[in-house]
């Protein structure tokens, strides 16, 4: 069966954050706005156990209102396939984040606009650094009392040692949060309602914008008065990634277009030169569509990350595999769960094609196993499939049960643990 989604159109991403920063709320909105769900379930509505969010479906997750185990979902945005893993934020479940980051190509790091960088934010950031995962930041909960975008950006710089690059700045805060300034397009995106189906207006940025939108808090008005400064800083930083655009800008005063800036932001994100920063309020349905655009525009496809190093059963490096359907099959089994479907092994396919009934070599056991069942998971739902190709994240069972594999804990990035010819 031919490939249905080009490798360059796939995004394997995770959402990581401290507990209660809004990861699952953001995931619910992503699924709603991409058309995978027709209703939105909020965390506080699940404690009666009569309903659940898509990714927090376990009884204990619904009772406690937190994510305990990582859950995978797939959806589409702008014709790009997004394989998304919602990870836990509680320190007790850090291993779940570790397992997920080993196989993800990119990540969205969510911050509480009030608390900023919290302890588990730092832990997850270091894990992402360990695996070389490109990421961007999303300052959530800008509608909450005490939200402060500038303070959060400053904490990202000082506590995480990152180079934050705001590509958006908020319009207002707390109860008067109206939207954000898109510094790339230089437009004000303004919502008139908190309704889930509310659309935004794209307004010109004028000196009296704060008065037009009834922004009265002095700090919010000051931030809007500094739009030109933020824009200049963003352009200067982006042009470091594009010598031709830099030369045109310095020599002939040619202002780079929005497309040139987006390409530069993407390049800087992939090589970790800086970390883009967005803002919004997922609970109030503001900024999620822009976050999805950023996933497509800035985070890597499987073809944008280095080839994986293959290892033998003793952990010795024996070669590498490019992310291509034409390469021999290789995959990493990163998690095993037991549920109503039996024992399922989560697998990230790095190269080649895996078909139902295929025989693959299990490098942990040193023997071959036959794949009996393959599914694409949508949280707790299992959709049977007949094949998986490079770049896919699927779940599989062998005829003898789950495909048992162990992972290495040394510095090798994305090791091979299961392969077949």
For residue 165, report the phi and psi dihedrals to the nearest 5 degrees: -130, 95
Cβ-based burial of 196 (10 A; exposed 0-12, middle 13-18, buried ≥19): middle
372 pLDDT band, cuts 50/70/90, is confident
pLDDT score for 58: 44
309 pLDDT band, cuts 50/70/90, is confident
Average pLDDT in the chain: 86
**Residue pointed to by tokens 């934010």:** 121
pLDDT score for 45: 53
Q: Are strands 359-362 and 393-398 parallel, antiparallel or unpaired?
A: unpaired
With CA atoms as reference, report the closest residue to 163 among 266, 261, 277, 241.
Answer: 277
Residues 303-330: b if buried by 16+ CB within 10 A, e if exposed: bbbeebebbeeeeeeeeebebbeebebb
pTM score:
0.89
Question: Of all helices (H) and strands (E), which one includes residue 151?
Answer: helix 149-160
pLDDT by residue (tens digit) across 138-182?
Answer: 999 999 999 999 999 999 999 999 999 999 999 999 999 999 999
């Amino acid at each position: 069966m031919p490939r249905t989604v080009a490798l360059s159109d796939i995004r394997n991403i995770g959402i990581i954050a401290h507990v209660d920063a809004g990861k699952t709320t953001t995931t619910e909105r992503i699924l709603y706005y991409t058309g995978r769900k027709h209703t939105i379930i909020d965390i506080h509505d699940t404690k009666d156990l009569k309903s659940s969010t898509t990714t927090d479906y376990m009884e204990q997750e619904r009772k406690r209102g937190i994510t305990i185990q990582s859950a995978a979902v797939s959806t589409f945005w702008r014709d790009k396939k997004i394989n998304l893993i919602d990870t836990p934020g509680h320190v007790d479940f850090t291993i779940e984040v570790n397992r997920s980051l080993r196989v993800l190509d990119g990540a969205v790091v969510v911050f509480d606009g009030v608390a900023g960088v919290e302890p588990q934010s730092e832990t997850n950031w270091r894990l992402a650094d360990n695996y070389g995962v490109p990421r961007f930041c999303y300052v959530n909960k800008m509608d909450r009392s005490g939200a402060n975008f500038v303070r959060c950006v400053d904490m990202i710089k000082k506590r995480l040692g990152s180079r934050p690059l705001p590509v958006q700045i908020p319009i207002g805060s707390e109860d008067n949060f109206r939207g954000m300034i898109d510094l790339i397009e230089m437009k004000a995106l303004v919502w008139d309602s908190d309704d889930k189906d509310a659309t935004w207006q794209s307004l010109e940025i004028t000196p009296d914008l704060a008065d037009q939108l009834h922004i009265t808090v002095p700090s919010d008005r000051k931030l809007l008065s500094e739009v030109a400064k933020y824009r200049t800083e963003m352009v200067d930083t982006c042009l470091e990634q594009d010598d031709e655009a830099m030369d045109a800008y310095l020599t002939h005063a040619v202002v780079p277009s929005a497309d040139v800036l987006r390409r530069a932001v993407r390049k800087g994100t992939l090589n970790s030169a800086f970390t883009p920063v967005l803002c919004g309020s997922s609970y109030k349905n503001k900024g999620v569509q822009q976050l999805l655009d950023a996933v497509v525009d800035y985070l890597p496809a499987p073809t944008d990350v280095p080839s994986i190093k293959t290892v033998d059963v003793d952990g010795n490096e024996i070669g590498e595999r490019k992310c291509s359907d034409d390469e021999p099959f290789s995959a990493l089994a990163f998690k095993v769960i037991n549920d109503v479907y039996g024992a399922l092994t989560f697998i990230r396919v790095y190269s080649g094609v895996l078909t139902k009934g295929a025989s693959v070599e299990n490098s942990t056991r040193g023997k071959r196993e036959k794949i009996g069942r393959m599914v694409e998971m949508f949280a707790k739902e299992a959709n049977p499939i007949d094949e998986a190709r490079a770049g896919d994240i699927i779940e599989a069972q062998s005829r003898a049960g789950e495909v048992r594999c162990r992972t290495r804990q040394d510095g090798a990035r994305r090791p091979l643990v299961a392969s077949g010819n």
